[in-house]
A = this chain, B = another copy of it.
Amino acid sequence: MLSAARRRIFSASSSLRNSVRARPFATSPKSAAKTLTPGLLAVGAGTAVAGGTLFFKKQPVIANESPLTVEPEFEPDLSIFPEGLNAEVPLVELGSVYEIIPGLKPEMLMREKMELLLKFYQKEIVAGLERADSSGKTFIVDEWTRGENMGGGITRVFQDGRVFQKGGVNFSAIYGELPPAAAQRMHANHSELKVPENGKLPFYACGLSLVIHPQHYLAPSVHLNYRYFETLNEDGTPQSWWFGGGQDLSPMYYNKDDATHFHKLLKEFCDFHDPTYYSRFKKWADDYFRIKFRNEARGIGGIFFDDLHDKEPDMLFKFVGDGLSRFLPSYLPAVKRAYLPAAGGEERPTPEAGKHWQGIRRGRYAEFNLAVDRGTQFGLQTPGSRIESILMTLPKHCSWEYNYHPGPETLEGKTVEVLKNPIEYV
């Protein structure tokens, strides 16, 4: 068992924070285990939180006092161009994460670095989306803790904007124990794991998880998730570690330009780190983001990877940092296009048909998240999970109609065709 103090990450006192000393992150879990001390683990994470300019406090959510402005019948006028979509979304230089993020240093613990990185981009992405929304509405902040000394998170949620109907950009950092069944499943994929005799496997996990559903039926939904995972020895030191994540796009109506732009930016940053990553992770996304029982993808894919530990941790950290930096530039142009006049030869649905199809596609999105996605299932089955943060990914409005299959010559049917047969875009 981990002691409470070792698992504390959100309650480090300021005196502890001030006394933090940088330590090199060991390049293998084995040597890391030797250099980490329980005290530093707690302090390290606490400092990351403080350095990230956001802070945690226990702030329980009170029934019926959600700070979200919810307007059940809200429907913005889609014919008016939202000025915020004209804002430039610069591409930062690849591999420059240490120059971009204030306070980030190579010698910090990986847990510290990841928490700094994820919270930096949580702020950046929220700001970019609020600007694009053009309504002046802001994401609400829900800070939460997961029981005593087991971690917590910052859930940032948006609803009923002009451009975005619903979305969330959620950071979490969790200490816990995998129950025996989950530990056994994990052991099957990570043979080096040593599961303690009681069957429970202590772990640390942090991640940024994001889903956005726009108002416009021509604008795609999008998902991003990057995470870092450690299993822990009984003394709280890391036993094994890996990165996971990815980002994928779910258009209601397939548009080749949007899809190509999205994949092009993903391929560029993947290639910068490893020439094999894009093709491997693109295929992985095509396999993962698939509603198997419908033989249909959730969208046009992107990249997905898990259990990544094939390079030095810091190289993978930079890779993840670059992925996060590509979120806004890869996504927002597709949202903007929805409000622009149709490009030459582009067919568009009527608003009525578009809204109807948007409801159906969002039903499919919910189907994937609830019935297929292993990440969601892991969350829902983990005792003490924050359900609202996990299920913020569900669209505001979903429809299911019996046996609804658009004809192959319709715009809707052409989109289904692409979802059934993944395309190589770049």
Q: Which residues in A have some Cβ–Cβ distance to B below 8 Å?
A: 61, 63-64, 66, 68, 70, 72-73, 142, 157, 159, 166, 168, 293-294, 352, 355-356, 359, 363, 366-367, 370-371, 376-377, 380-381, 385, 387-388, 391-392, 394-408, 410, 413
Contacts and interface: CB of A to CB of B under 8 A. Distances in A.
Nearest to A392: B402
Nearest to A63: B405
A64 B388 contact: no
Given A397-B399, A398-B363, A400-B394, A72 B405 contact: no
B395 A72 contact: no
A408 B370 contact: no
Given A66-B405, A293-B387, 13 more contacts: A61-B405, A64-B405, A64-B410, A66-B403, A72-B356, A73-B352, A157-B402, A370-B371, A371-B380, A388-B403, A394-B400, A396-B400, A396-B401
A385 B371 CA distance: 15
Nearest to A406: B64
A280 to B, nearest CB: 27
Contact of A366 (B166, B387, B398, B404): B398
Nearest to A213: B400
Given A159-B401, A363-B394, A401-B159, A385 B293 contact: yes
B410 A400 contact: no
Enumerate the 5 nearest inter-chain pairs by beta-carbon distance, A residue then B residue, closest first.
A64-B407, A370-B370, A394-B400, A63-B405, A370-B371
A91 B388 CA distance: 44
Given A396-B399, A413-B63, A293 B70 contact: no
A159 B402 contact: yes
A394 B401 CA distance: 8
Given A352-B72, A380-B371, A403 B159 contact: no
Contacts of A405: 61, 63-64, 66
A407 B63 CA distance: 6
A420 to B, nearest CB: 12
Contacts of A359: 72, 397
Contacts of A294: 387
A171 to B, nearest CB: 16
A91 to B, nearest CB: 31
A199 B203 CA distance: 34
B68 A142 contact: no
A302 B317 CA distance: 52
B72 A402 contact: no
